[in-house]
């Protein structure tokens, strides 16, 4: 390493600080001082870098410019403890333990339920007639399901969780469409200024015709569904 440094002219200097600070933390019941930074909220960051002519075998970034930056494990030197399992949560809003995840899903479900209540309602029979897919939101997962598959799908989910809560929405669909003029324009950067205007309307229409036909031919492949939150299905 010393040899590489001599060769590249890199020199090492050490900088030492001694801080004497007295920080006050008002903590809530589930908050603790971050064990990573001991509550300072700061940590030493390496800022590794390399030089083109100084690659040390297996070490492309052998040099560093260490400095202080904010601790990535906490906010202001404080971490929250999960109210269920007691684990520290770093900067995460929710812990990954099962109870915390369930709590998170239940809260999200409540919010979704409020939106569903606001939606216009149709019966399941009507939905079967009008929609290829329905959007199913449960306290466990979300999915798109055909009306035919719905009963079996929910029975499978309820096997694991008999308390499962379910909301159903209608769906909207879309598929690939392309615009001839926009497409030509996106390829015209290197052309002379009037190129776009010189192409006749007939030629654009001709290209649009090709594009419409092609998009129609791959419609099955590009057809995409998304939830229509304005229509709720009652089962």
The strand pairing partners of 44, in sequence order, are 68
State which residue, 89 or 180, has the beta carbon closest to Zn ion.
89
Q: Which of 44, 56, 85, 178 binds Zn ion (CB under 5 A)?
A: 85
Per-residue contact track with Zn ion, 54 to 73, x per CB under 5 A? -----------------x-x
Q: Are 119 and 229 in contact (CB under 8 A)?
A: yes
State which residue, 34 or 134, has the beta carbon closest to Zn ion.
34
Q: What does the DSSP assignment read for 17-51? A: ------------TTEEE-TTTTTSSEEEE--EE--
Distance CA 22, CA 168 (A): 55
97 binds Zn ion (CB under 5 A): yes
Choices 29-37, 52-60, 159-167, 189-197; region in contact with Zn ion by CB under 5 A? 29-37
State which residue, 108 or 223, has the beta carbon closest to Zn ion.
108
89 binds Zn ion (CB under 5 A): no
The strand pairing partners of 139, in sequence order, are none
State which residue, 46 or 230, has the beta carbon closest to Zn ion.
46
State which residue, 102 or 115, has the beta carbon closest to Zn ion.
102
Classify the C-alpha dihedral 139-140-146-150 as positive or negative.
Answer: negative
Distance CA 53, CA 60 (A): 10
Structure tokens at 109: 């479900």
Distance CA 106, CA 164 (A): 10
Report the run of H or E that residue 80 belongs to, with start and end: strand 78-80
**DSSP character for 149?**
G
Choices 83-91, 107-115, 153-161, 192-200; region in contact with Zn ion by CB under 5 A? 83-91
34 binds Zn ion (CB under 5 A): yes
Q: Which of 63, 100, 157, 227 binds Zn ion (CB under 5 A)?
A: 100
Q: Which of 54, 82, 127, 180 binds Zn ion (CB under 5 A)?
A: 82
Structure tokens at 161: 């969780």
State which residue, 81 or 165, has the beta carbon closest to Zn ion.
81
Q: How far is the CB of 94 from Zn ion (least distance, A)?
A: 8
State which residue, 34 or 54, has the beta carbon closest to Zn ion.
34
Q: Are 77 and 40 in contact (CB under 8 A)?
A: yes
Q: How far is the CB of 64 from Zn ion (least distance, A)?
A: 21
Residues that bind Zn ion (CB under 5 A): 34, 36-37, 71, 73-74, 82, 84-85, 87, 95, 97, 100
């Amino acid at each position: 390493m010393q040899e590489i440094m001599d060769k590249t002219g890199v020199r090492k200097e050490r900088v030492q600080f001694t801080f004497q600070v007295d920080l006050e933390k008002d903590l809530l019941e589930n908050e603790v001082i971050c064990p990573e930074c001991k509550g300072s909220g700061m940590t030493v960051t390496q800022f590794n870098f390399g030089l083109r002519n100084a690659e040390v075998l297996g070490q492309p970034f052998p040099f560093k410019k260490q400095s202080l930056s904010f601790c990535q494990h906490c906010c202001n030197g404080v971490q929250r403890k999960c109210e269920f399992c007691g684990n520290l949560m770093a900067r995460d809003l929710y812990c990954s333990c099962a109870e915390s995840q369930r709590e998170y899903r239940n809260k999200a479900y409540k919010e979704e339920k409020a939106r569903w209540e606001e939606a216009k309602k149709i019966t399941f029979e009507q939905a079967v007639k009008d929609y290829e897919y329905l959007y199913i939101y449960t306290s466990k997962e979300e999915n798109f399901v055909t009306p035919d598959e719905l009963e079996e799908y929910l029975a499978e989910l309820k096997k694991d969780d008999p308390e499962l809560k379910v909301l159903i929405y209608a769906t909207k669909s879309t598929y690939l469409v392309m615009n001839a003029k926009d497409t030509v324009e996106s390829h015209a950067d290197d052309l002379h200024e009037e190129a776009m205007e010189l192409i006749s309307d007939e030629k654009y229409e001709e290209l649009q015709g090709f594009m419409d036909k092609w998009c129609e031919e791959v419609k099955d492949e590009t057809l995409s569904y998304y939830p229509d939150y304005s229509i709720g299905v009652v089962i």
